[in-house]
Amino acid sequence: MTAMTAAESPESPRSPVVSWGSAFVLIVIALIAQLPLFDRSLVPMDEGHLLAAADAMGSGKRLYADIHTGIFPGIYLIARLLLDVFGQDAIVLRWAAVVMNIAIALALHSVTRRMVAAHWSWLPPLLYLALISVGFPVLSMFNYSTLSVCFGLVGLVFLLRYLEAGLRADGILLGVFVAAAALTKQNFGGLIFIALFLALLAGRHESALARRSLPRILVPIAGAGLAVTACVTIYFLSNGTFIEWLDATIFSLASSQLENFNNPIPPLLGEHPRGDGRFT
Per-residue H/E/C for 54-109:
HHHHHCCCCECCCECCCCCCHHHHHHHHHHHHHCCCHHHHHHHHHHHHHHHHHHHH
- Distance in angstroms (rounded) separating the CA atoms of residues 249 and 264: 13
Residue 35: what pLDDT? 94
0.75 exceeded by pTM: yes
Reported as a pLDDT band with limits 50, 70 and 90, residue 25 is very high
Reported as a pLDDT band with limits 50, 70 and 90, residue 3 is very low
Residue 257: what pLDDT? 60
Q: Which residues pair with 280 in a beta bridge?
A: none
Contact 210, 191 (CB under 8 A): no
pLDDT digits (tens, 9 = 90+) for 35-50: 999 998 888 888 999 9
